[in-house]
């Protein structure tokens, strides 16, 4: 997953739009197929990395790790490590992450309606 160069016009445009429009800011955080899918599974409660991997069979371990780190960095997900061999790691939505529940449910309803139009 590559980052946009901070000196690029694309980065400046994205930043300006996100600063002006809260909807775009939110979409930048949960946008993309994996972040939204991860959040939708975590709405039901804590999950371990392996459980998430099984629920999202087409995601690579690297992409899942990158997406979880991004969500953690944006305070959407918390990561808890339990000592042991092997160490156990659980992921859970933060309080602000749980606030996405209604948004995700609405997107699901809208998606079903739109699919039926196609």
Span 40-44, mean pLDDT? 94
pLDDT in tens, 57-94: 899 999 999 999 999 999 999 999 998 888 889 999 99
pTM of the complete model beyond 0.85: no
Contact status, residue 52 vs residue 61, Cβ threshold 8 Å? no
| pLDDT-derived band at 7, boundaries 50, 70, 90 | confident
- Pairing between strand 88-93 and 77-82? antiparallel
At residue 85, the pLDDT reads: 87
**HEC profile for 17-37?**
HHHHCHHHHHHHHHCCHHHHH
């Amino acid at each position: 997953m590559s980052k946009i160069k901070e000196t690029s016009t694309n980065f400046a445009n994205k930043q300006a739009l996100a600063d002006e429009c809260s909807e775009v800011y939110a979409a930048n955080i949960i946008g993309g197929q994996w972040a939204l899918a991860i959040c939708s599974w975590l709405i039901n409660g804590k999950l371990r990395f392996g459980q998430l991997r099984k629920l999202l069979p087409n995601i690579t371990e690297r992409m899942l790790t990158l997406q979880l780190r991004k969500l953690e960095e944006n305070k959407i997900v918390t990561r808890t490590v339990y000592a042991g061999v092997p160490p156990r790691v659980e992921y859970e939505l933060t309080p602000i992450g749980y606030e996405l529940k209604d948004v995700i449910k609405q997107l699901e309803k809208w998606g079903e309606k739109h699919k039926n139009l196609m």
